Amino acid sequence: MNLHDKTILVTGAGGGIGREIVLGLLEKNAKVIAVDLREESLQEVVRLAGDKGKDISVYAVNIADKKAVEALPAKVGKIDGIMNVAGIIQPFVRVNDLDYDAIERVMSVNFFGTLYMVKTFLPGLLKQPEAYIVNVSSMGGFLPVPGQSVYGASKAAVKLLTEGLYAELQDTSVHVSVVFPGATATNITENSGLKAPATGSSDKKAKGFPMLSPKEAANIIIRGMEKNQVQIFTGKDSKMMNLLYRVNPVFATNLIAKQMKSLLPK
């Protein structure tokens, strides 16, 4: 897709990868509908955009609220694409120790929030000469990560939803991409209302993994969108683990389990 003069709606626009996507789209001379839970975060994006801030419209919306999402089209008007970036993680605990409130919150934001956005905007996108849906899954959406099992399940649901949409929409004007971010230096832990797990000396290798900046990840996603890539992997770790999991899923699972062991409660 040529993003020049296109209007793209971005969820999770207030920080991390979402914020950098907004700024990156503006550099492509696109107009942006920025959606986030926090009004103050959206205003910070407008400030960071400088002179290009005039091309951003902001809406503080909880995407887990179906009625609030369904009210958006009347407010934002015609758009050319949606990018579902918003997401939260779960507490770093095993499923056995995870309460149902946390489970429902993760599924509501990550899966149902994405589904509400797709279901709400797809009818309008189908009327456009060219349109786009980008859904952000996770490396944890194709590879089990102990301590993030429900988060992974929510992102696996996003993965299969998006791949299903791609199959269903092949004969339409709507392009579809699913994104698998690797390790990225964002504030997703704090934005999920959580404290980062304590790490010991045995976690030095895990902490030594190269992490992409949100801007680097955003640039990869935008380039993938411009090329109509169905699958977009950000980071060498995401690409490598995708290949490893396909070749030897048991080995890949045990490798990640070993690396995550020090982050989980004893």
Residues assigned a catalytic role: 151
List residues bridging with 181 in a β-sheet. 234
Kindly provide the residue ranges of all beta strands, DSSP E only, lying in 12-118, ordered along the sequence.
31-36, 56-60, 81-84
Q: Which residues pair with 8 in a beta bridge?
A: 32, 81
Q: In the structure encoding, which two tokens stand for residue 106, read together?
A: 């993760």
Question: Cα(82)–Cα(154) distance, rounded to whole angstroms?
Answer: 19
Backbone angles phi, psi at 232, to 5 degrees: -125, 115
Q: Which of 139, 153, 160 is nearest to 233 (CA)?
A: 139
CA–CA distances in Å: residue 160 to residues 54, 110, 168: 36, 13, 12
Residue 52: DSSP 8-state = G
User: CB neighbours (10 Å) of residue 40?
Assistant: 9
Alpha-carbon span 195 to 124, nearest angstrom: 40
